[in-house]
Amino acid sequence: MGFEVDERPGATFDQAALGMAHVSLDGALLRANPRLCESLGLGLDELTGHPAGDIRHPDDREAARQHLQAMRDGVIQSSTHEERLLRRDGSSFWVAVTRSLVRGRSRAPLYIIEIMFDIDRHKRVEEARERALAGERAARIRVELAEARMARLQIITSELSRALTPTQVADVVLTQGLAALYADAGYVALQEENGMVDVLLAPGYPQELIEPLRRFPPSARLPSADCIRTGQLLVFESREVFRDAYPEIPTQNWARTWVAVPMTVGERVLGALGITYLENCEITSEDREYMMTLAQHCAQALERARLYEAEQRARLAREEALAIAAHDLRNPLSALSLGAASISRMAPEGDAGQRIRERAQKLKATTEYAIQMLQNLLDAAIIEANTLTLEMAPYEVDAIIAEIAEVHAPLAEQKELRLHVRPLGYSLRVPCDRGRLAQALSNLIGNALKFTAKGGEVTLAIALDGAFVRFSVTDTGAGITPENLPRLFDRYWRPRAVRGAGTGLGLYIVKGIVEGHGGQIFVDSQLGVGTAFSFTIPIERPRDRT
């Protein structure tokens, strides 16, 4: 509604402790009281007749104009609004402006009166509090971001410990690292022994852009190549800076922020970790430190992966050599064994012939032992190369252990040992490679007979164990020391007490055969009591086994 006043100014206006002004309907200053003039540092003659917007902060002029317009149009009669006024020196201060439309006795609008309450101190305190809160929030965000990144780094460290190849390493670092940095794309470029640089993985980049850059010489004009050559962190925080440095790169217009981080081990630069953002980003000191840490982890894991691959290649070459040697030697040894058997049969009667037969039998036994050792080498090479082939078919498990017991009964009798057999007692056919399963059981029962003293006992048993069949060989021998148990199934390993005999491959081969069937092998031993070896194989044929 506004209010009516005497059209003549009163003393209250001039003597008011608050800033007051009369503003015409078209927005010009008609009057200003002394308090307002003092606050602005301007004389009355410098204000009268000038646009009221001149004394307001530029950011607040439009809002004030809209308020005045709404009053002129009769939409509102009064309002209160916070805004900033400008002093003569250009500084600003906050006021709460209450505006009211003034009408004459004829009810015609005359002007707008503005009463200004100085709230500058309150607003400054409020702004300071907001700045403090904003700083506190920013600090909290930085702490939370650092904690999140540290958690990511722990995940990366854990997963890198299981990464065996350079590509697996790159996948871990890029998957977790890009997420921690909120990056849009990245790459791992590794310099090979021949000097060329290979990009192992580059998630996030358009295929048509990254494909031509998959492999390049270290002299190439690329940020990754320059990073590898100089060992320096390269950061390009805008498309223009990147384009100036690398005008020929086809990807220059695709993204806006590019980072290349050297991956170093000691003084050697193994390659570069690339990180890319589609938008302009400020790469902070915390970002750079995290990127360098990430690249360091990647470099160390890549070095381990390289060493692992080199060791695998050397092992494969050794296995191939052993397999070839074993294969080439087996035929002449077999011929030697047959020759010894022939000599034994052809030896004449009498003492002279007996001596020939004894020597021939020793020769035959020695060659058969050598053939068995060669066969162990071949089996171990096959298991090591993960190429063990099993001819699976359903067989009666009781029949298998009965056959094994029958074969070893003479040796048990010779050593004056009691050999016990504990079958299931009912028909159960289990899918297995009968020959390989017999080989594993023969190895275990052979060891039990070998290391059990005269008068002892060896038990061959079978039992159901959930979805598995459990075979066990238990003896009453001297037992195995606790420190030797973890290494029993290691390749070429033998306890010190029995060194000098065998290849140390028997239990390794048993473990390979059992795992080839989809089972597990176990050992339990107590010094002075005996040892129990057992293994399981599934009753149902494993789907991923052949």
pLDDT digits (tens, 9 = 90+) for 425-450: 999 999 999 999 999 999 999 999 99
The residues with which 445 forms a beta bridge, in sequence order, are none
Task: Decide if pLDDT at 499 tops 50.
Answer: no
pTM of the prediction? 0.49
DSSP string for 175-218: HHHHHHHT-SEEEEEEE-TTS-EEEEE-TTS-HHHHGGGSEE-T
* Mean pLDDT of the chain, nearest integer: 86
What is the enclosing helix (H) or strand (E) of 315?
helix 285-346
Of the candidate ranges 155-159, 314-318, 405-409, 416-420, the one whose mean pLDDT is the lowest: 314-318
**Parallel/antiparallel/unpaired status of strands 109-118 and 19-23:** antiparallel
pLDDT recorded at residue 274 = 95
Task: Decide if pLDDT at 393 tops 80.
Answer: yes
pLDDT recorded at residue 145 = 72
**Span 169-185, mean pLDDT?**
92
Which amino acid is present at 156?
Answer: I
Helix (H, G, I), strand (E, B) or coil at 356: helix
Task: Decide if pLDDT at 118 tops 80.
Answer: yes
**Parallel/antiparallel/unpaired status of strands 468-475 and 429-432:** unpaired
Task: Decide if pLDDT at 545 tops 50.
Answer: no
453 φ/ψ angles, rounded to the nearest 5 degrees? -75, 160
- Reported as a pLDDT band with limits 50, 70 and 90, residue 31 is very high
pLDDT recorded at residue 542 = 56
Query: Could you tell me if residue 98 is left (phi over 0), alpha (psi between -120 and 50 degrees) or otherwise beta?
Result: beta
Q: Which residue has the higher pLDDT, 143 or 458?
A: 458
**Token pair of 47, please?**
């204000």
Eight-class DSSP state of 495: -
DSSP string for 410-444: HHHHHTT-EEEEE--SS--EEEE-HHHHHHHHHHH
Q: Go through the domains of the chain in sequence order and give each one's CATH number.
A: 9-124 (3.30.450.20), 143-304 (3.30.450.40), 318-383 (1.10.287), 388-538 (3.30.565.10)
Residues ≥6 apart with Cβ < 8 Å to 45: none
The residues with which 32 forms a beta bridge, in sequence order, are 21
Of the candidate ranges 82-96, 289-303, 499-513, the one whose mean pLDDT is the lowest: 499-513
DSSP string for 269-287: EEEEEEEEESS-----HHH
pLDDT recorded at residue 43 = 92
- Reported as a pLDDT band with limits 50, 70 and 90, residue 330 is low
**Span 332-353, mean pLDDT?**
76
Which amino acid is present at 322?
Answer: L
Nearest-Å Rg of the Cα atoms of the chain is 45
Question: Terminal CA-to-CA distance of the chain, rounded, Å?
Answer: 95
Which amino acid is present at 34?
Answer: P
Contact in structure between 13 and 100 (CB atoms under 8 Å): no
Distance CA 541, CA 429 (A): 11
The residues with which 465 forms a beta bridge, in sequence order, are 468
Q: What is the pLDDT of residues 241-262, one digit of tens each?
A: 998 898 888 666 788 999 999 9
- Percent of the chain residues topping a pLDDT of 70: 91
Q: Look-up: residue for tokens 């806006």?
A: 256
**Span 110-126, mean pLDDT?**
88
> Averaging pLDDT over each range in 24-28, 60-64, 370-374, 468-472, which range is the top one?
468-472
205 φ/ψ angles, rounded to the nearest 5 degrees? -90, 145
